[in-house]
Amino acid sequence: MTLILKNLPFILQGLTLTLALAVTTLFFSTIIAFLLGTLASLRFRWLRVVVKVYVELFRDIPLVVNIFFVFFVAPLFGLELSPFAAVTVGLSLWGGANGAEIVRGGFASVPQHQWASAAALGLKTWEIYAFVTGPQALRAILPPFVGLLTLLVQATSLGALVGVTEFFKVGQIIVERTTMMEGWNPAFAIYSAVLLIYFVICSALTWFGRWLERRLKSDLRRPASGVAAMPKPVTQLP
């Protein structure tokens, strides 16, 4: 405990960088996911094929290989990316691919008669997505998307492999520095603290996802406001 308190500013710095990496990755992953997921739900076959190739490519490549590829290959094309930027790009490409499949599935869950009715009313394509099918698809998209955020928080630890001083890397540095300078190995205490904090963050996100799913289901079962309930039949007494 003394060792943790002594290195608390360093630990908080690493935790802040981990959260910043997770938020940045989620931001770009969300943009990629909703853009590609929406394109995949359009009626143009060639668009669906392009999105499918992208999704399968980045979902089938191991995430650590994807990060290494961005970090080591980008400089060959004149893109000098910092470790933070390289990890952000690698995680965003992977998160966008998984998120695109979630968004596509969300739009596919909307009944076909909703699309047909909106088109029959003369709505434009963007109006159908924005005002008719989009709000309905969000009910199916949001819970698994929160789960994707949990995976992205866990995946930020891979940044330690390319030099990002995030939370897990900070733990490694403390263990190595203490072993070399003080002659004892604090690996159990430090990595237990790292494990506990990751568990708390990811458990909170998992709980939020389950709460959101229950809330959306209850809203779905609730009758719309302004709709009168059907009167119960009156039983005539003899």
Q: Output the average pLDDT for the chain.
A: 85
pLDDT of residue 29: 93
pTM of the prediction?
Answer: 0.82
- Structural domain 2-221, CATH architecture: Orthogonal Bundle (1.10)
pLDDT of residue 238: 43
Counting beta carbons within 10 angstroms of the beta carbon of residue 93, is it exposed (0 to 12), middle (13 to 18) or buried (19 or more)? buried
All residues at 6 or more sequence positions from 139 whose CB lies less than 8 Å from its CB, including other chains: 106, 216, 219, 220
Coil, strand or helix at 233: coil
All residues at 6 or more sequence positions from 54 whose CB lies less than 8 Å from its CB, including other chains: 36, 97, 100
**Per-residue model confidence as pLDDT tens digits over 97-109:** 999 999 999 998 8
DSSP per residue over 16-65, as a string? HHHHHHHHHHHHHHHHHHHHHHHHHTSS-HHHHHHHHHHHHHHHHS-HHH
pLDDT of residue 210: 83
All residues at 6 or more sequence positions from 64 whose CB lies less than 8 Å from its CB, including other chains: 158, 161
Q: Please state, in angstroms and rounded to a whole number, the distance separating the CA atoms of residues 98 and 32.
A: 10
Is a pLDDT exceeding 70 seen at residue 30?
A: yes
The model's confidence at residue 237, banded by pLDDT at 50, 70 and 90, is very low
Least confident of 99-103, 179-183, 191-195: 179-183
Mean pLDDT of 59-82: 89
All residues at 6 or more sequence positions from 91 whose CB lies less than 8 Å from its CB, including other chains: 21, 25, 29, 63, 67, 152, 155, 156, 158
Domains of the chain, residue spans: 2-221
**Per-residue model confidence as pLDDT tens digits over 38-63:** 998 888 888 889 999 999 999 888 89
Is a pLDDT exceeding 80 seen at residue 224?
A: no
CB 165 within 8 A of CB 177: no
pLDDT of residue 235: 47
